[in-house]
């Protein structure tokens, strides 16, 4: 009993009833400790860390502790070393240290953490001051490889959360864009910025989002994709419940439509939610093309989805059970191409599907130069040799290839991976029960999708619950003149676009 | 509550569905019967011939023809499947051919078993062979790879240009069970190196009673239904060397039937045909470019059509076959009780049927 429940319905990590009032964590630092803040004590903590440097300026009577590869050397010299070494007497030193960029710290834990996050600790007369001189080398802003567009901006997020934040800020010049800083991971202490636009977003959702993040209990977070799995409503479901993007323009469009962003430090992917199933089928390109063209490509993607999910499964069902369904003109060709194959269709189809997946996986892991070889070898082996050897029929090759190609049409890689996996289940069902099995499988998927939620909002929105006014941006990409409302799913109080309530 | 129901449903499905595993019909392991022929043998037995197309890889033969003689069509199936390595199925059947003698005796029993077989599509064609169906199907017509497919395509193309009606298993069964209409079926015939459409067979119930010649089948089609896209060559007058010919093409026909009472148990049926079309070819003295000559020609054609139609109607009444469904028209014009008490078969031969035709020549030649 419990097993069925768990299989069908209990994927959910449901929201606790009665949301807490949203409180911004005022400081991430933990409670004050009684340990003395002395240079010796701090250095003792950094024992065996050869990358922690201690530098003395005897003329000013100060010691500076910092990690060289976390700081910007230019800034370090300009802001700390120069003014302090120029100081004539103790009063000068005190004046310099009284400047606002020198923070007085009285807690040793704070100091240790500061040093670890790219600050320099200045020890002077028993006092400790922290200066932000953070500036490690990071990758420049480059073009996105997983979400490339033809028209539109080409920049993408990088691994540095600050850069990512700046990419968003550059696009949203509004004080309504609020940023909350949170910390995830016991050891890595990864910084997560939660972004939302006040007066557009529903604060209850922000509340829930922050609550989930603060409840994460893990040692380490490395990536946005990993991070989402900790805040998913249904962690065991195949479908991603948060949209992940590398594109600042997409991220900003999510913000503006009333969604929440999470920028995870160290990851070029940004998480946005709440998300519906159909959001995974729209690409930034849709909005940069004229609406008719955008609509056509979007419809094409839905067709691709249907092909991916069902093409091979239909082939299996039809050749195993429903010979009546095959058109007369096709039946003899199909028969002839099947006649040399020693396996039943379901085995034949699984064989080819697995081969395609192998090729895809190999192509993704290998360097580009070898990856091309894989493509050629795969093309010849699958397209030509397998048919000639009588392992598969060439019509199946067409079915498998077209469904594989279709799966890559779906803009979100995470979603297309889910769909490719689901396909295998449908092929097996089609092999066991024919069309009935196929329908059973699709029925199960629909039931499951209906039950899914993203941040507590319906995953199939605006399809179920039906919200007709949102359909103009789901199955089609309506002209901008009619795309004037924000999606119903985000439950915003500010539905009209271009009308900010002051 | 909801979850419990789901669980029961799933377990129930698993229990029920596990029984279906042996239902597999893997494409290359089945013999797809394309055409089945039924012939009556002298002792009242049935000769069943199945034509099964093979893909060119198998045995280098384009098709396999299996024959057996048995008491019933279902019994024949068992015997036929003994003759082949494939599992015989009938889900891709396209055509059923009946031999002439069997058609005259009546073949409802054989059709009935096919109608009751869920795998046989109701869109399977029913055709009568003028002669033996068996000998027609076993022959290889040198121009065509697969005889059965050739016949099927031949019928399809003829149906498209209205020389024969489209008669499927569904149509035949419907007309058979309907008490105001009798079924029809196309007739094909075997020539030296071809198969030819040979007219329309008119049935009384399931027994073939009358044949409409292929030249007259367009007239029959006009009375039977509205249609588009037919062509009709008419010889208006054929005196010695002065022949008057017309080829009337792209016909659009509208048919109207009116019923009036003529006496207590008799009716008068008026069939009104409105035919419009294009003159493709005309040989004669009239100048069609002149308006009055055009009307004259229209009248001549109309008279010819009426003459042919009435001839067919007369023969149908003589043979007592109501293939046009006049019974249905009468049925809808009289109270149901009266229809129920009436024996249409007795009334039908004596009713008055008149045919009136209106012809309109839209234009002549390819241009106006």
A chain contacts of residue B58, beta-carbon cutoff 8 Å? 339
Q: Give the residue numbers in A contacting B (CB under 8 Å), as ranges.
A: 1, 4-5, 8-9, 319-324, 326, 328, 331-336, 338-341, 344-345, 432-434, 436, 440
The full length of chain A comes to: 502
What pLDDT band is residue A375 in, cutting at 50, 70 and 90? confident
Tell me which DSSP letter residue B48 carries: E
pLDDT at B77: 84
pLDDT at A428: 93
pLDDT at A47 over 90: no
Contact B57 A334 (CB under 8 A): no
Count Cβ atoms below 10 Å from residue A99 Cβ, excluding itself.
Answer: 11
Which long-range CB contacts under 8 A does A439-446 form with residues at least 24 apart? A440/B13, A441/A313, A442/A309, A442/A310
What pLDDT band is residue A81 in, cutting at 50, 70 and 90? confident
What percentage of chain A carries pLDDT values higher than 90? 40
pLDDT at B368: 41
What pLDDT band is residue A205 in, cutting at 50, 70 and 90? very high
Q: Count interface pairs A-B at CB distance under 8 A.
A: 67
Helix (H) or strand (E) holding A263: strand A260-264
Contact B28 A433 (CB under 8 A): no
Residue A13 contacts by C-beta under 8 Å, 6 or more apart in sequence?
A232, A233, A234, A235
Nearest CB neighbour to B92, from listed A320, A328, A432:
A328
| Parallel/antiparallel/unpaired status of strands A243-245 and A260-264 | unpaired
Q: How far B84 CA sits from the closest chain A CA (Å)?
A: 16
Contact B21 A340 (CB under 8 A): no
Q: What is the pTM of this model?
A: 0.83
pLDDT at A84: 84
What pLDDT band is residue A192 in, cutting at 50, 70 and 90? very high
Q: How far B11 CA sits from the closest chain A CA (Å)?
A: 10
pLDDT at A173: 92
Contact A323 B32 (CB under 8 A): yes
What value does the mean pLDDT take over residues A483-490?
86
How many alpha carbons fall within 13 Å on the CB side of residue A109?
8
Cα separations in angstroms, B362 against B279, B293, B302, B367? 8, 14, 14, 11
| Full DSSP string of B92-110 | T--EEEE-HHHHHH--HHH
Between A89 and A164, name the one with better pLDDT.
Answer: A164
What whole-number distance in Å separates Cα of residue A140 and Cα of residue A124? 37
What whole-number distance in Å separates Cα of residue B138 and Cα of residue B160? 26
Please state the separation of Cα B114 from the chain's center in Å: 17
pLDDT at A457: 92
B53: nearest CA partner in chain A: A332
Under 8 Å between Cβ of A312 and A423: yes
* Omega cis (within 30) before A173: no
Q: A365: burial class by Cβ within 10 Å (0-12, 13-18, 19+)?
A: exposed
Reading the block at residue A308, the tokens are 């991916």
What value does the mean pLDDT take over residues A14-21?
43
What value does the mean pLDDT take over residues A116-138?
86
* Omega cis (within 30) before B211: no
> In terms of DSSP H, where are the helices of A35-128?
39-45, 73-76, 82-86, 90-97, 108-116
pLDDT at B225: 86
Residue A202 contacts by C-beta under 8 Å, 6 or more apart in sequence?
A258, A490, A491, A492, A493
Q: How far B249 CA sits from the closest chain A CA (Å)?
A: 31
Under 8 Å between Cβ of B105 and B77: no
What value does the mean pLDDT take over residues A343-372?
88
A chain contacts of residue B56, beta-carbon cutoff 8 Å? 336
Contact B3 A8 (CB under 8 A): yes
pLDDT at B130: 92
Contact A4 B13 (CB under 8 A): no
Contact A319 B26 (CB under 8 A): yes
Contact B28 A335 (CB under 8 A): yes
pLDDT at A27: 47
Q: How far B55 CA sits from the closest chain A CA (Å)?
A: 5
Q: A364: burial class by Cβ within 10 Å (0-12, 13-18, 19+)?
A: exposed
Among B241, B230, B259, CA closest to B327: B259
Under 8 Å between Cβ of B201 and B208: yes
A chain contacts of residue B20, beta-carbon cutoff 8 Å? 433
A chain contacts of residue B121, beta-carbon cutoff 8 Å? 324
Nearest CB neighbour to B23, from listed A319, A321, A336:
A321
- Edge-to-edge strands, sheet with A190-197: A177-184, A190-197, A260-264, A270-273, A243-245
Tokens 């429903």: give the residue.
Answer: A322
Of A7-21, A235-249, B13-27, minimum mean pLDDT range: A7-21
Under 8 Å between Cβ of B210 and B349: no
Reading the block at residue A13, the tokens are 């990590």
Nearest CB neighbour to B26, from listed A320, A333, A340:
A320
Question: Which residues pair with residue B184 across a beta bridge?
Answer: B202
Under 8 Å between Cβ of A105 and A37: yes
Q: Which ranges of chain B have pLDDT less than 70?
A: 1-2, 15-22, 57-60, 238-241, 365-368
pLDDT at B37: 93
Nearest CB neighbour to A321, from listed B7, B24, B28:
B24
pLDDT at A244: 92
Q: What is the pLDDT of residues A402-440, one digit of tens each?
A: 999 999 899 888 999 999 999 999 999 999 889 999 999
Can you tell me the ipTM of this complex? 0.81
């Amino acid at each position: 009993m419990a097993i069925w429940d768990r299989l069908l319905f209990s994927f959910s990590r449901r929201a606790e009833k009665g949301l807490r009032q949203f409180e911004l964590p005022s400081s991430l630092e933990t409670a004050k400790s009684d340990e003395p803040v002395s240079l010796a004590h701090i250095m003792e903590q950094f024992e065996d860390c050869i990358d922690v440097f201690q530098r003395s300026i005897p003329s000013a009577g100060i010691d500076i502790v910092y990690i060289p590869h976390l700081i910007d050397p230019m800034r370090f010299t300009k802001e700390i070393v120069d003014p302090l070494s120029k100081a004539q007497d103790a009063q000068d030193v005190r004046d310099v240290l009284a400047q606002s960029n020198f923070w007085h710290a009285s807690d040793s834990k704070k100091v240790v953490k500061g040093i670890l996050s790219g600050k320099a600790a200045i020890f002077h007369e028993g006092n400790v001051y922290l200066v932000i001189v953070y500036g490690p080398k990071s990758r420049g802003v480059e073009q996105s490889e997983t979400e490339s567009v033809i028209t539109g901006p080409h920049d993408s997020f990088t691994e540095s959360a600050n850069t990512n934040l700046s990419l968003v800020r550059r696009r949203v010049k509004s004080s309504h864009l609020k940023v909350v800083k949170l910390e995830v991971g016991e050891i890595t202490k990864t910084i997560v910025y939660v972004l939302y636009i006040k007066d557009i977003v529903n604060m209850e959702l922000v509340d829930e989002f922050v609550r989930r993040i603060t409840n994460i209990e893990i040692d380490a977070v490395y990536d946005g994709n990993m991070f989402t799995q900790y805040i998913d409503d249904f962690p065991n479901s195949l479908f991603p419940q948060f949209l992940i993007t590398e594109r600042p323009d997409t991220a900003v469009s999510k913000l503006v439509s009333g969604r929440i962003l999470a920028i995870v430090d160290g990851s070029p992917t940004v998480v946005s939610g709440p998300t519906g199933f159909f959001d995974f089928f729209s690409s930034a390109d849709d909005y940069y093309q004229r609406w008719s063209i955008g609509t056509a490509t979007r419809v094409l993607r839905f067709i691709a989805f249907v092909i991916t999910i069902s093409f091979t499964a239909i082939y299996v069902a039809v050749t195993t059970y429903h010979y009546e369904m095959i058109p007369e003109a096709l039946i003899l060709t199909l028969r002839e191409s099947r006649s040399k194959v020693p396996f039943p269709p379901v085995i034949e189809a699984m064989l080819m599907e697995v081969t395609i997946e192998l090729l895809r996986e190999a192509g993704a892991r290998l360097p580009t130069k070898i990856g091309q070889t894989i493509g050629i070898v795969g093309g010849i082996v699958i397209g030509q040799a397998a048919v000639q050897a009588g392992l598969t029929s060439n019509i199946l090759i067409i079915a498998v290839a077209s469904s594989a190609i279709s799966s890559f049409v779906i803009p979100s890689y995470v979603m297309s991976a889910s769909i490719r996996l689901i396909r295998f289940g449908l092929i097996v069902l089609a092999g066991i029960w024919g069309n009935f099995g196929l329908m059973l499988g699709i029925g199960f998927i629909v039931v499951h999708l209906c039950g899914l939620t993203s941040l507590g909002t319906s995953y199939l929105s605006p399809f179920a619950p039906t919200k007709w006014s949102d359909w103009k941006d789901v199955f089609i990409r309506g002209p901008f003149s009619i795309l004037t409302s924000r999606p119903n799913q985000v439950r915003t109080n500010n539905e009209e676009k271009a009308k900010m309530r002051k | 509550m909801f979850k419990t129901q789901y669980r029961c449903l799933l377990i129930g499905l698993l229990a029920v569905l596990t029984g279906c595993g042996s239902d597999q019909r893997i494409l290359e392991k089945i013999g797809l019967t394309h055409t089945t022929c039924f012939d009556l043998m002298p002792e009242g037995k049935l000769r069943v011939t199945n034509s099964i197309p093979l893909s060119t890889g198998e045995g280098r033969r384009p098709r396999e023809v299996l024959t057996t003689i048995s008491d019933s069509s279902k019994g024949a199936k068992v015997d036929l499947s003994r003759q082949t390595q494939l599992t015989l199925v009938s889900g891709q059947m396209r055509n059923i051919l009946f031999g002439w003698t069997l058609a005259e005796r009546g073949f409802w029993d054989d059709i009935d078993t096919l109608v009751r077989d869920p795998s046989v599509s109701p869109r399977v064609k029913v055709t009568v062979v003028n002669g033996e169906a068996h000998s027609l199907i076993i022959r290889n017509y040198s121009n065509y790879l697969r005889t059965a497919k050739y016949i099927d395509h031949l019928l399809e193309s003829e149906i498209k240009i209205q020389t024969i009606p489209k008669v499927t298993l569904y149509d035949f069964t419907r007309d058979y069970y309907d008490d105001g209409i009798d079924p029809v079926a196309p007739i094909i015939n075997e020539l030296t190196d071809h198969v030819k459409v040979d007219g329309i067979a008119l049935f009384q119930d399931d027994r073939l009673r009358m044949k409409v010649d292929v030249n007259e089948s367009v007239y029959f089609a006009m009375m039977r239904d509205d249609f588009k896209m037919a062509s009709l060559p008419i010889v208006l007058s054929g005196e010695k060397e002065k022949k008057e010919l017309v080829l009337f093409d792209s016909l659009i026909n509208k048919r109207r039937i009116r019923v009036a009472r003529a006496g207590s148990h008799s009716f008068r049926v008026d069939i009104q045909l409105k035919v419009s079309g294009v003159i493709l070819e005309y040989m004669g003295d009239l100048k069609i470019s002149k308006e009055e000559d055009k009307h004259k020609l229209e009248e001549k054609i109309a008279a010819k059509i009426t003459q042919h139609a009435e001839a067919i109607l007369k023969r149908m009444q003589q043979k007592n076959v109501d293939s046009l469904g006049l019974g249905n028209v009468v049925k809808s014009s009289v109270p149901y009780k009266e229809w129920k008490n009436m024996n249409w078969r007795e009334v039908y031969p004596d009713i008055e049927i008149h045919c009136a035709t209106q012809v309109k020549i839209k234009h002549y030649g390819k241009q106006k």
